Amino acid sequence: MKRTDFYGISFIVLLGLFAIVGASASLYENYLEGRTIYNAVDQDSSVMIGNDTCFTSIYDNTINFTCGGSIVGDLVVENLNGYYAELYYVNYTATNLVFTESEVYYNLFFTENMTNGFTANNMTFGGASSLTVNKNGIYSLVYTLTGYGVNNHEYHTVIFVNDTEIEKCESFEKMSATGDYLSMNANCILSLNIEDVITMRIADYTSPSSGIYNIGNLNLMRVGNN
């Protein structure tokens, strides 16, 4: 091989090496110099943007803001797999509820559910229905209850977490006339932990009686970390 050919090939190889090194460093350099990064592909390792202590990494299907982060602009999520629960019961022909004692809460039952991140328990007619939390977090809770009771009786509906009454999730109404339909609704924010058990309960605060249960619906949606 001629010496001139050897130098020519060496020069080409060096150019190739510089191109590889430049390509691997260009992503971070673009970030430091304030240029927009439109596309980055690395099949063997994660892409990291930032400094040593606070950086954003992209690896496979995970984006990690190590020191927190913000997304600026509109975010469109096509497949959101959040944590939620819905318990519901519907019977327009009437279901009797018996209050053997006043000011004592009795569990409401549900027969249908949709859940992700919760376990629905005792979903049977007359059962002590409940939800068990499988994911820590801050949850938005909403419920509604429709039925009717005894004239001038005061009814209270509330959420319990682990047999503790959550007063901020309470609703109460006084019947104006026997046979009138009554709806009780409430919403609140709860900090829940794994294995917490949630129930919805009702009490007659006037005297022992019986009432009619037509519709019950309980919803929870995870909105953040606790």
35-54 pLDDT tens trace: 555 545 454 556 666 666 67
> What is the residue type of 62?
T
Q: Using CA atoms in the order 102, 107, 109, 113, what is the torsion angle rounded to 10 degrees?
A: 140
Side-chain half-sphere exposure of 29, counting CA atoms within 13 A: 6
Model confidence, pTM: 0.70
50: left (phi over 0), alpha (psi -120 to 50) or beta: left
* pLDDT tens sequence for the chain (226 residues): 555 554 444 444 334 434 444 444 455 565 556 555 554 545 455 666 666 667 777 776 777 777 777 778 777 666 666 899 999 999 988 799 999 999 999 999 999 999 999 999 999 999 999 999 999 999 999 999 999 889 889 999 999 999 999 999 999 998 887 667 889 999 999 999 999 999 999 999 999 999 999 999 999 999 999 8
- Residue 63: predicted pLDDT: 78
Q: Please name which of 157, 128, 154, 153 lies closest in space to residue 145, comparing C-alpha atoms.
A: 157
Distance CA(208)–CA(98), nearest Å, equals 8
- Residue 13: predicted pLDDT: 39
- Residue 28: predicted pLDDT: 54
Ordered domains of the chain (ranges, CATH): 3-65 (no CATH), 84-224 (2.60.120.40)
- Residue 5: predicted pLDDT: 55
